[in-house]
Amino acid sequence: MQAPTPLLQLTGIEKRFGGVVALRGVDFRLHAGEIHGLAGENGAGKSTLMKIIAGVHTDYSGRMELEGRPVRFRSARDALAAGIGMVHQELSIVPELTVAENVLLGAQPTNKLGFVDWRRMMTEAGEHLQSLGISVDVRAPIGALPLGLQQMIEIARVIFSGARIIILDEPTSALSPPEIERLFELLRQLRAQGRSMIFISHFLDDILRICDAVTVFRNGQKVASSAAAIDKMWIIDHMIGAGHQELEESYLGEFQLKSRTEAPVVLEAEDLCLRGAFEDVGLRVHAGEVLGLYGFMGSGQLELTRSLFGKLPPERGRVRIMGKEVRITSTAVAKRAGLAFLPESRRSMLFALEPVYRNISISILERLSRLWVKPATERALAHEQVSALRIRPPNVDLPVGTLSGGNQQKVALARWLTHLPHVLLLNEPTRGMDVGAKEDVVRIVRDLSARGVGVLVASTEPETVLALADRILVMKKGRIVHEFAGEAVSKDRLLAAA
């Protein structure tokens, strides 16, 4: 018997963004009534391929066939007309509009005169959401609802559009466990109706639970695809390509972690909670210790450090810094208590147009509560840092915005070297850096910890945490689920715990 024609078939897809090859020679098949999982590390090309299928990216080479017929979409609208809808990684709802308007966006019912029929819209949207088990006031502005609910409504919108191929790009990262259950129930119902879904997730357990087939991407290529029973290690092996030469040496090896130290605790958190971000978090950072917080996107670790710094203060729980209880209500409180924070968007921390030396001295100025230090003093201080940190080019008078990302990060870190905080919170400290800059950052962090600073490094990149941390906590869906201490850890073990 001949195999049935796939519902959707892509062959030899290539896609570039300027000089970056995002996809090379990718083949992909989706069958009717199938939930197809996509896995792969950040940047592997998953979203790009999905955006091609959904008509968002139109300049690619390769072939796409829908039920055996060649198609070439010119827009997302075009793809939707052919029955393909996508729920994007970044929500595309309009926060100011009501729930009903968002659900029916672009398809609002109109009356004879061509005006939007509000009553019908409210009724239709309400009935539709009800049928999906979502109870919500359809008149409420959607931006005011919890993120998980917004996500469900966005999914509902695509379903309501009648799409028979529904692409879900990391839909669960904003959802709570009961919401995920509801979503899965929904996906099963849709499958029973013969619709097909492509489900992208970093949560491999979720993929294994709901999907009928799995395809793995690495570095812009499809590396494996299976409709047979597979396990988590199969996915992870293909994701990171264990044993393949293209990986950097250090990723393959094991990292020996330290055991918990006896040094005094500089930061202690207990039962910390911020709804929609993290729950029941307890941790201790010791003086001179680098504690890694690893988890997939949306697991709560980046939110946790941000919250500890008072950006979005925790709603519940206790924080002690240097043994003293501190109610973190603002960043000012956090700073005064001796915390320092370097967020993942470093640009926001630096004054791009100001010269390097001003950027380095700014925290000293803040601490001295003085607005003016002799420029010569500032420069001299900055010069020391610039050469110690190998900031390139070694010119303290350049506007910091003209430096590369890695060198900007070093400038941002340099501030804390001149005046040590008790605790340094770092989000994605080496993201997007070349190997040399990464090594420099690792050295700086080590230097800080050697001088007694407690460091908390939150990242979604296993390599970053492995390269920096003495001890690692793994977060998953807002909770700490595992601790690695005093043992050898490899990237695949870290991934398997997340």
As a three-state string, the secondary structure of 434-456 is: CHHHHHHHHHHHHHHHHCCCEEE
The residue count for binding ligand ADP (CB under 6 A) is 11
Question: Could you tell me the two tokens for 414?
Answer: 């340099």
Q: Is 48 in the site for ligand ADP (CB under 6 A)?
A: yes
Partnered with residue 35 across adjacent β-strands are 197
Nearest to 268 by CA among 319, 305, 334: 319
79 vs 86, 120, 170, 204, CA distance in Å?
9, 27, 20, 28
Residue 80 in the binding site for ligand ADP (CB under 6 A):
no
Nearest to 493, CA basis, from 242, 227, 177, 195: 242
Q: Which is nearer to ligand ADP, 19 or 106 (CB)?
A: 19
- Our finding on whether 42 is near ligand ADP (CB under 6 A) is yes
Q: How far is the CB of 467 from Mg ion (least distance, A)?
A: 23
Q: Which does 42 bind (CB under 5 to 8 A by kind): ligand ADP, Mg ion, none?
A: ligand ADP
Part of the chain binding Mg ion (CB under 5 A), chosen from 12-20, 47-55, 282-290, 434-442: 47-55
Cα(437)–Cα(411) distance, rounded to whole angstroms?
12
User: Per CB under 6 A, does 43 bind ligand ADP?
Assistant: yes
Cα gap 394→378, rounded to integer Å: 15
C-alpha neighbours within 13 Å on the C-beta side of residue 237: 8
| Calpha distance 468→450 (Å, rounded) | 13
How many other CB atoms are there within 10 angstroms of residue 368's CB atom?
Answer: 12
Q: Does 48 bind Mg ion (CB under 5 A)?
A: no
Q: Identify what 351 binds: Mg ion, ligand ADP, none; CB under 5 to 8 Å per kind.
A: none
From the list 8, 26, 37, 47, which residue makes contact with ligand ADP (rule: CB under 6 A)? 47
Indicate whether 22 belongs to the interface with ligand ADP (CB under 6 A): yes
Could you tell me how far CA 403 lies from the centroid of its own chain?
A: 25
Find which of Mg ion, ligand ADP, none residue 22 binds, CB within 5 to 8 Å per kind: ligand ADP
Using the contact rule CB under 6 A, the part of the chain among 41-49, 98-106, 316-324, 377-385 near ligand ADP is 41-49
201 binds Mg ion (CB under 5 A): no
Residue 45 Cβ, how far from ligand ADP at the closest point, in Å? 4
Give Cβ neighbours of residue 213 (< 8 Å, ≥ 6 apart).
Answer: 31, 34, 35, 36, 37, 225, 226, 227
Q: Does 20 bind ligand ADP (CB under 6 A)?
A: yes
DSSP lists the bridge partners of residue 39 as: 216
Q: Locate tokens 């494996």: which residue? A: 224
Pick the stretch among 36-44, 131-139, 307-315, 359-367 that binds ligand ADP (CB under 6 A). 36-44
Query: How many CB atoms sit inside 10 A of residue 145's CB?
Result: 18
Determine the interface stretch with Mg ion among 12-20, 44-52, 332-340, 377-385 (rule: CB under 5 A).
44-52
Q: Is 47 in the site for Mg ion (CB under 5 A)?
A: yes
In angstroms, what is the minimal distance from the CB of 148 to ligand ADP?
A: 21
Among 6, 13, 29, 46, binds ligand ADP (CB under 6 A): 46
Residues found near ligand ADP in the complex (CB under 6 A): 17, 20, 22, 40, 42-48
Residues found near Mg ion in the complex (CB under 5 A): 47
